[in-house]
């Protein structure tokens, strides 16, 4: 028989306030007695507590970076501790050859500061950010940082989300912010210029004339003076409201512009009718009216030969695209046409909610009336988008569905060597300004330059839509 071990109270205290009782061949461990008589946990139900949670990554600031740069990034989340290391990864696997972490500084349990170098060949896509603590616990922020070619133009916004309409080959841009605050991004001064109430839709090749409408819905031109200031000029319209849209340099060297006027109809009604304005010797001529295939029509873009792309409302109420060969001849399309190349041989736009193009057969001279859909970034699994502009080299820009279902700025390439255009290679996603909070990026390309190296311009959310340009890879 095993005798119990007996300790006096002073001996128990001297042993760290713990007593061990051995009785009937069983060993029982109990909490030590103390003067405060603390409770003892029942045998077999000891509380061990929860293990500390691992780190989590919620966002990054900035949420994007460019190739061949070194950037300092705030990594935000929870559960960080001294010695934590942030790394950039694809599918959770760090790739230091493409994005190298130079240093990670611990700021607080919710913030780290990482200095990273992005290689010249880093993948243009959304990257994961992983945080590893001392001891090996790891947290992954999936697709929280984007490597992109998007560059913000100008400083901030003018009255709200930026809407881009056109860009020339020098990089000057026309657009509007919010509902109606016209602006020009002046490439010469690299700054945004507020033009006042209205919308700017077109910009000439020199970047000295923008076209659109004023706050009263009257067609106007804004002209840049020698000192850099912009003044507004009304376009001839006979007192009729309307808007000037895109511009082109005609074969005779004059500046021409597309648009429409709200022409009075019977019973005090109005209907939009496409028009062409021409500036000769610095003076705008009276508008040339284009025939309306249906009850109302609008001209969105114009080629140097006067061909125009736009839309019309037919007698049955359906809305279709139109390409005007001259002011009196046209072809009605099965989708909406938003842009025409300068040669006047291809138009791009939207067919049943998807980006598409139509063309003039070089062998027969006839236009196709059925559009050809352009592939989306996500393939056939996602339908949606619009082709917004193109050039004579077959570079088309707009937006399409990305794999996450959001819209993303997209570039397509057409081979124009045969009698009909053919899509070559897969579409290229241009990317935005990173993921905003828990959402996904949203971007759209609106215009493209005519000569390489090609540049596109449009908007990207951050979360307000900013004016951005992309170098097309």
Residue 243 φ/ψ region, left for φ over 0, alpha for ψ in the -120 to 50 degree band, beta for the rest: beta
For 163, phi then psi, to 5°, come to -115, 120
Judge contact between 312 and 302, C-beta under 8 A.
no
* Residue that is written with structure tokens 């109990």 in the block: 30
Looking at residue 428, its pLDDT comes to 93
Looking at residue 50, its pLDDT comes to 53
Domain that holds residue 419: 151-471
Judge whether 47 lies within some domain.
no
Measured CA to CA, the distance from residue 154 to residue 74 in angstroms comes to: 24
User: Of 161, 123, 141, 136, whose CA–CA distance to 52 is shortest?
Assistant: 136
Residue-level pLDDT, tens digit, the chain, 473 residues:
334 334 343 443 344 433 333 233 333 333 333 333 333 334 444 444 455 678 999 999 999 999 999 999 999 999 999 999 999 999 889 999 999 999 999 999 999 999 999 999 999 888 999 999 999 999 999 989 999 999 999 866 676 789 999 999 999 999 999 878 999 998 888 889 999 999 999 999 999 999 999 999 999 999 999 888 999 999 999 999 999 999 999 999 999 999 999 999 887 789 999 999 999 989 999 999 999 999 999 999 999 999 999 999 998 999 999 999 999 999 999 999 999 999 999 999 999 999 999 999 988 899 999 999 999 999 877 778 999 999 999 999 999 998 777 889 999 999 999 889 999 989 999 988 886 654 566 899 999 999 999 999 999 987 788 999 999 97
Do 159 and 246 reside in the same domain of the chain? Answer: yes
What does the DSSP 8-state code read for residue 458? E
For 213, phi then psi, to 5°, come to -140, 155
User: Of 307, 312, 285, 283, whose CA–CA distance to 297 is shortest?
Assistant: 312
Do 10 and 98 reside in the same domain of the chain? Answer: no
* CA distances to 132, 173, 254, 305, 386 from 389, in Å: 45, 14, 22, 17, 9
* CA distances to 61, 221, 289, 309 from 392, in Å: 39, 26, 26, 15
User: Tokens at residue 360, please?
Assistant: 């003039």
Beta bridge partners of 104: 114
As a dihedral over the C-alpha atoms of residue 397, residue 401, residue 404, residue 409, rounded to 10 degrees, the angle is 10
User: Which residues are CB-contacts of 317 (< 8 A; sequence separation ≥ 6)?
Assistant: none
CATH number of residue 223's parent domain: 2.130.10.10
What does the DSSP 8-state code read for residue 54? P
For 81, phi then psi, to 5°, come to -145, 165
Measured CA to CA, the distance from residue 333 to residue 101 in angstroms comes to: 53
Do 169 and 63 reside in the same domain of the chain? Answer: no
Looking at residue 252, its pLDDT comes to 93
Judge contact between 247 and 203, C-beta under 8 A.
yes
Do 106 and 240 reside in the same domain of the chain? Answer: no
Do 203 and 276 reside in the same domain of the chain? Answer: yes
Looking at residue 15, its pLDDT comes to 41
Looking at residue 42, its pLDDT comes to 42
CB-count burial class (<10 Å; 0-12, 13-18, 19+) for 409:
buried
Do 61 and 171 reside in the same domain of the chain? Answer: no
Judge whether 44 lies within some domain.
no
For residue 9, give the 3-state DSSP assignment: helix
- Of 95, 118, 147, the one marking the end of a domain is 147
Counting the structural domains of the chain, the total is: 3
- Of 118, 147, 176, the one marking the end of a domain is 147
Judge whether 418 lies within some domain.
yes
Do 441 and 328 reside in the same domain of the chain? Answer: yes
Judge whether 191 lies within some domain.
yes
Do 305 and 381 reside in the same domain of the chain? Answer: yes
Looking at residue 91, its pLDDT comes to 87
Residue 233 has a CB neighbour count (10 Å cut-off) of 12
Looking at residue 18, its pLDDT comes to 37
Judge contact between 218 and 234, C-beta under 8 A.
yes
Measured CA to CA, the distance from residue 263 to residue 382 in angstroms comes to: 40
Judge whether 212 lies within some domain.
yes
Question: Is-cis flag, bond preceding 237, omega within 30?
Answer: no
| Cα angle for residues 119, 123, 125 (degrees, 5° grid) | 130
Looking at residue 157, its pLDDT comes to 65
Look up the pTM and report it: 0.83
Do 112 and 180 reside in the same domain of the chain? Answer: no
Do 432 and 463 reside in the same domain of the chain? Answer: yes
Do 90 and 219 reside in the same domain of the chain? Answer: no
Measured CA to CA, the distance from residue 386 to residue 460 in angstroms comes to: 16
Looking at residue 407, its pLDDT comes to 87
Judge whether 133 lies within some domain.
yes
What does the DSSP 8-state code read for residue 14? H
Measured CA to CA, the distance from residue 471 to residue 473 in angstroms comes to: 6
Sign of CA dihedral 433, 436, 438, 439: negative
Do 350 and 227 reside in the same domain of the chain? Answer: yes
User: Which residues are CB-contacts of 201 (< 8 A; sequence separation ≥ 6)?
Assistant: 165, 166, 174, 175, 211, 212, 213, 243, 244, 245, 246, 259
Residue 312 has a CB neighbour count (10 Å cut-off) of 25
Measured CA to CA, the distance from residue 380 to residue 108 in angstroms comes to: 45
Judge whether 43 lies within some domain.
no
CATH number of residue 78's parent domain: 2.60.40.10
Judge whether 156 lies within some domain.
yes
- Of 129, 147, 165, the one marking the end of a domain is 147
- Rounded to an integer, what is the distance from CA 318 to the centroid of its chain? 30
Looking at residue 441, its pLDDT comes to 67
């Amino acid at each position: 028989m095993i005798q119990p071990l007996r300790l006096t109270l002073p001996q128990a205290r001297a042993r760290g306030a713990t007593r061990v009782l051995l009785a009937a061949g069983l060993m029982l461990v109990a909490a030590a007695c103390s003067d405060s008589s603390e409770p003892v946990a029942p045998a077999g139900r000891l509380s061990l507590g929860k293990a500390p949670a691992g780190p989590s990554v919620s966002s990054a600031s900035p949420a994007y970076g460019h190739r061949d740069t070194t950037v300092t990034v705030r990594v935000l989340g929870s559960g960080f501790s001294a010695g934590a290391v942030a790394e950039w990864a694809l599918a959770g696997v760090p790739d230091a050859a493409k994005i190298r972490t130079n240093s990670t500084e611990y700021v607080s349990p919710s913030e780290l500061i990482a200095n990273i170098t992005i290689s010249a060949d880093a993948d243009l896509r959304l990257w994961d950010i992983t945080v590893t603590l001392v001891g090996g616990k790891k947290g992954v922020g999936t697709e929280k940082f984007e490597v992109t070619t998007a560059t913000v133009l100008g400083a901030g916004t003018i009255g709200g989300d930026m809407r881009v309409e056109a860009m020339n080959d020098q990089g000057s841009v026309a657009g509007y912010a919010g509902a109606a605050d016209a602006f020009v991004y002046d490439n010469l001064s690299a700054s945004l210029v507020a033009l006042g109430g209205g919308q700017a839709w077109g910009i000439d090749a020199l970047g000295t004339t923008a076209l659109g409408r004023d706050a009263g819905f009257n067609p106007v031109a804004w002209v840049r003076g020698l000192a850099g200031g912009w003044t507004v000029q009304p376009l001839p319209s006979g007192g009729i409201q309307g808007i000037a849209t895109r511009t082109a340099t005609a074969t005779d060297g004059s500046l021409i512009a597309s648009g429409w006027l709200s022409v009075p109809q019977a019973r005090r009604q109005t209907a939009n009718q496409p028009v062409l304005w021409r500036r000769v010797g610095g003076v705008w001529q009276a508008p040339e009216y284009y025939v309306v295939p249906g009850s109302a029509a609008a001209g969105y873009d114009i080629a140097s030969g006067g061909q125009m792309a736009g839309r019309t409302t037919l007698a049955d109420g359906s809305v279709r695209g139109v390409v005007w060969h001259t002011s009196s001849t046209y072809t009605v399309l099965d989708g909406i046409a938003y842009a025409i190349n300068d040669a006047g041989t291809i138009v791009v736009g939207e067919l049943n909610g998807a980006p598409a193009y139509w063309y003039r057969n070089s062998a027969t001279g006839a236009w196709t009336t059925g559009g050809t859909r352009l592939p989306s970034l996500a393939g056939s699994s996602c339908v949606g988008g619009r082709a917004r502009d193109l050039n004579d080299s077959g570079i088309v820009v707009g937006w399409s569905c990305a794999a996450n279902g959001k819209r993303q700025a997209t570039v397509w390439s057409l081979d124009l060597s045969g009698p009909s255009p053919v899509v070559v290679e897969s579409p290229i996603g241009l990317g935005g300004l990173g993921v905003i909070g828990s959402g996904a990026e949203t971007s759209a390309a609106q215009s493209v330059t005519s000569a390489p190296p090609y540049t596109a311009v449009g908007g990207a959310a951050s979360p307000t839509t900013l004016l951005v340009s992309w170098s097309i890879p």
